Structure 1
Amino acid sequence: MFRARLLTAALVLAPLLSGCAGDEPTIAVLVGDAGDTSSRAVDVERLTDRVESTCDECRVRVYDAEGDAATQKSQARQAEAESADVVVVVPVDPDDLGTLTGGDLPVVSLGELVPGSDRFVGLERGSVPRQSGSDVEAARDVVMGKEESMTYVPTGPMSDRAADLAVAYLADNPVEGGVDVDGVESWLYSHSDVTVDTLTSVLVAEGILTLDDLCSGSTSKRCARLGLR
């Protein structure tokens, strides 16, 4: 259970950097399973783009554990051996990464809190919920009436925030704001249930998908009947 209290100051985003700490400072991104579409804690491409847009010299190195906790532990040691300056981790097993947070390497947890992390980006109501298939597939199931609702997780903004926190470490910039979660400064986001009545106002408006994604092929007639076109 989360124990959170609101901190009063607002988040200060890292500025555009022409050179962080040293040559090609490296952010290691440890991904639990990049091939698992049911896991929505991170958008690696968006995180990478965010880092590159805020730090000219920064480098992102991605490690994919493919769902194996032992592999992720090994990759954490590898990232440290390869002189990573900051680690962003989407854990396979949060409680199995004590060695990652036991040293001097700054650690930003994403999705689930790794005990001992320096900072955490997650959801207000706990762990990131899983879903079968992509957001587009889940939304189309709602259109067709196969499901009454789907859960929207703000994966993009969460990935941006993790990138900003990592770059702030590299630039040695203080970052204020957030909430205290079990002693870790954290930034928590809301997820929401989306029904057929809110598909466009939430998912299309947020840029998660387009009307063409939602209403092409087998869903086109149903969208027309629902007035989604």
Structure 2
Amino acid sequence: MLRARLLTLVLVALAPLLSGCTGGEPTVALLVADGSDPSSRAVDVELFTQRVEATCDQCRVVTYDAEGDAATQKSQARQAEATSADVIVVVPVDPDDLATLTGRDVPVVALGTMVPGSDRFVGLAGGTLPDVSGSDLDTARDLVLGEEDTMTYVPTGPMSEQSADVAVGLLADTPVDGGEEVDGVTSWLFEDQELTVDSLTSVLVAQGVLTLDDLCSGDTAKACARLGLK
């Protein structure tokens, strides 16, 4: 297994310190189902990339966007393998279509939805991502305006960082703590949450998903003031 040289620093979500290792320029291929879809909750590409680069000083992340097309994603997976990707992290368009994603020498981390034959999985305890209609911010503002009663919050940031840690762990051939076996695949499972207007700030603002300025600007300013949010 190709070893990446890792920075010596303590990570919040990575229990043991990853040990140093050496190598060339290890590549993590991130296959995104549809980067233009604001309702996607599986991955934050920027957070994922930052996490990989913070924990592996020679690693690079190459992102492929399937734009919602399963055939395109399958082609991108083969392209990633052909251009020497060392680990593939995939948010699948069609999980079953990726059952033979790559050759056996390239480990695959499924993110959001389990891919048959994947080596690792990061997702929700419920198994699949909920069907949502807009971004966290848009839905939270709808709650403030009274246009929605509840919203489903998926911890996209922590899931993105966890999948980055798993990818780097595979590069370094270093076990990552916290996983559990699910159908024979080592998995890291997170919980989604049903939020109301009363729990928006204690969850979304407290966890840095959005700010009060984001939530309470423009059309929502008066509603926020009435609710005591700003």
Q: Larger relative contact order (C-alpha < 8 A, sep ≥ 6)?
A: 1
Which residue is equivalent to 2:131? 130
What is the rounded CA distance, in whole Å, between the counterparts of 2:174 and 2:224 in structure 1? Answer: 48
| 1:181, distance to aligned residue in structure 2 (A) | 1.3
Residue 173 of structure 2 corresponds to 172
Deviation of the 1:102 alpha carbon? 5.2
Distance change >3 Å, CA 16–CA 220, structure 1 → 2? farther
Tell me the C-alpha RMSD between the 2 structures. Answer: 1.5
One-letter amino acid matched to 2:25: E
- Structure 1 residue 16 displacement after superposition: 6.9
Matched residue pairs, number? 218
Tell me if the contact between 2:100 and 2:117 (Cα under 8 Å) persists in the aligned partners: no
Query: Which residue type is aligned with residue 163 of structure 1?
Result: A
> Is the 2:27–2:85 Cα contact (8 Å) retained in structure 1?
yes
Q: Look up the equivalent residue of 1:217 and give its one-letter code.
A: G
CA 109–132 in structure 1, closer or farther in 2 if over 3 Å, else same: same
TM-score (norm 2): 0.91
Q: Does 1:46 align with 2:47?
A: yes
| Aligned mates of 1:13, 1:128 — CA distance in 2 | 29
Distance 1:92 1:224, change over 3 A: same
**Offset of 1:222 from its aligned partner?**
0.7
Secondary structure of the equivalent of 1:207? coil
Kindly indicate whether the alpha-carbon contact (under 8 Å) linking 1:14 and 1:173 is maintained by their aligned counterparts in 2: no
What SS does the aligned partner of 2:113 have? Answer: coil
TM-score, normalised to structure 1, is 0.91
Question: Following TM superposition, by how much is the alpha carbon of 1:118 offset from its aligned partner in structure 2, in angstroms?
Answer: 0.5
Q: CA deviation at 1:189?
A: 0.1
Q: Does the C-alpha gap of structure 1 residues 63 and 165 become closer, same or farther in structure 2, counting only changes over 3 Å?
A: same
Give the counterpart of 1:15 among 14, 18, 28. 18
Q: 1:123 to 1:87 in 2, by over 3 A?
A: same
Partner of 2:154: 153
Q: After superposition, give the CA deviation of every residue in 1:105-155 in whole Å (9 maximum; x if it has no partner).
A: 100000000011110000011211132221111000000000001111100
Distance 1:136 1:11 in 2: 28
CA contact (8 A) 2:154 2:193 kept: yes
Aligned to 1:225: 226
* CA displacement at 1:13 relative to structure 2: 4.8
Q: Residue deviations 1:174-228, cap 9 Å, x none?
A: 2343221111010000000110100100110010111111111111111111111
Contact 2:140/2:215, CA 8 A, preserved across alignment: yes
Identical-pair percentage: 69
- Rounded Cα–Cα distance in structure 1 between residues aligned with 2:63 and 2:229: 38
Stretches of structure 2 that go unaligned for 5 or more consecutive residues are 1-12
Residue 34 of structure 2 corresponds to 33
Q: After superposition, what is the alpha-carbon deviation per residue over 1:2-59, rounded to whole angstroms, capped at 9, x for unaligned?
A: xxxxxxxx96456375x54x31100000100000111110001000000000000001
Name the counterpart of 2:9: none
Check whether the contact 2:81–2:102 (CA below 8 A) recurs between aligned residues.
no
Partner of 2:111: 110
